[in-house]
């Protein structure tokens, strides 16, 4: 056997060992994460598979939809408990996220997810809820209002994605993978160790200027992001997020459902001027409030968000 062939075989062998090691590491991390942050709710079967949800409290219905790469824990560091004092609050892991299932064939554009959320609401027997959407969850809530407005009470949106964007935040650059094969490869090899090795740049964009609360990793479910399936499903969401926004923006003026928006002035992910003020210019009946803080206000400003949502709920009763 020639020296060149031996070298090639050695390189292939070393590469295979490294990749196998990365896969084993990802599996080990996933096992530890899911042991630390187990499912906290119940499951219901829907068209996308098992759906993980948590309901608490009594009173007018509120359904909370998390954003890109999130899960129900984003609302469970004080916000949900506060609202549950006088509302029935339902937290949902969107299909594919948290502990909810989603087959690879399931569409992930905003309007498709809006339809999926309405199916979930029906499956849970919830009637005319107030929808609270954060970030991408805000865009999904707006899609629900455009297509299913008569079945909802109103929208209270926290730092929502509302308008088309020319360039997404660099915090999500790693998710921009169109090939599902490549997405799975990255998810099961390099994604997890990269997130563990250097979390600070992404955290500073997503949370900044606010610090990451100590409660975020476990109670807020942050650790669940350190799983291959989480990366894969978040990437599927990300690459299709922009598809429906231009047509949605053209339809906003026909919104008849009450909509209220709360933004952090220092949001580093979504520009409050573009996604808040520009929307209000198009649809003047939408209410906009600004507070100090960044993008993750459901986690960093739970009391302020609860006051905003409760006020919106009372106005929409």
- pLDDT reported for residue 170: 83
Distances (CA, A) of 264 to 144, 290, 298, 317: 24, 6, 10, 26
The alpha carbon torsion through 225, 226, 230, 231 (nearest 10 deg) reads 110
- pLDDT reported for residue 119: 97
pLDDT tens track for 217-256? 999 999 999 999 999 999 999 999 989 999 999 999 999 9
The arithmetic mean of pLDDT across residues 50-59, rounded, is 97
- pLDDT reported for residue 20: 86
pLDDT at 79 over 90: yes
Q: Pick 144 or 191 by higher pLDDT.
A: 144
* Global pTM value: 0.94
Which residues make beta-bridge pairs with 131? 63, 155
Highest mean pLDDT among 162-166, 176-180, 199-203, 291-295: 291-295
Where does the pLDDT of residue 85 fall: very low under 50, low under 70, confident under 90, or very high at 90 and above? Answer: very high
Q: Residue 194 CA to chain centroid, in angstroms?
A: 20
Where does the pLDDT of residue 10 fall: very low under 50, low under 70, confident under 90, or very high at 90 and above? Answer: low
Q: And the tokens for 19?
A: 């990749």
Where does the pLDDT of residue 8 fall: very low under 50, low under 70, confident under 90, or very high at 90 and above? Answer: low
pLDDT tens track for 179-207? 999 999 999 999 999 888 877 778 899 99
pLDDT tens track for 105-125? 999 999 999 999 999 999 999
Which domains does the chain possess?
Answer: 35-315 (3.40.50.1820)
- pLDDT reported for residue 71: 97
- pLDDT reported for residue 167: 81
- Dist CA 209 CA 271 (whole Å): 14
């Amino acid at each position: 056997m020639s020296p060149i062939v031996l070298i090639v075989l050695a390189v292939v062998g070393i590469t295979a060992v490294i990749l196998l090691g990365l896969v084993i590491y990802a599996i080990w991390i996933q096992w530890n994460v899911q042991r630390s942050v187990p499912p906290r709710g119940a499951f219901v079967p829907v068209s996308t598979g098992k759906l993980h949800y948590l309901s608490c409290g009594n009173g007018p219905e509120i359904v909370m939809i998390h954003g890109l790469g999130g899960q129900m824990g984003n609302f469970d560091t004080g916000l949900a408990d506060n609202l549950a004092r006088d509302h029935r609050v339902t937290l949902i892991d969107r299909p594919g996220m948290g502990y909810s299932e989603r087959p690879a064939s399931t569409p992930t554009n905003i309007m498709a997810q809006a339809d999926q959320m309405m199916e979930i609401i029906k499956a849970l027997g919830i009637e005319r809820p107030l929808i609270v959407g954060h970030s991408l969850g805000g865009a999904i809530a707006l899609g629900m209002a455009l297509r299913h407005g008569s079945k909802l009470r109103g929208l209270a949106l926290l730092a929502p994605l509302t308008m088309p964007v020319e360039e997404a935040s660099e915090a999500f650059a790693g998710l921009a993978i169109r090939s599902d094969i490549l997405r799975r490869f990255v998810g099961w090899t390099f994604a997890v160790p990269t997130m563990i090795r250097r979390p600070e740049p992404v955290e500073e964009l997503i949370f900044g200027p606010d610090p990451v609360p100590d409660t975020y990793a476990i109670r807020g479910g942050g650790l669940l992001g350190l799983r291959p399936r989480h990366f894969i499903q978040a990437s599927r969401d990300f690459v299709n997020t922009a598809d429906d926004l231009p047509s949605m923006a053209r339809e906003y003026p026909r919104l008849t459902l009450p909509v209220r928006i709360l933004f952090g002035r220092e949001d580093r992910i979504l520009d409050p001027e573009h996604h808040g003020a520009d929307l209000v210019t198009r649809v003047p009946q939408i209410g906009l409030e600004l507070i100090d803080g960044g993008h993750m206000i459901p986690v960093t400003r739970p009391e302020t968000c609860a006051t905003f949502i409760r006020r919106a709920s009372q106005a929409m009763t």
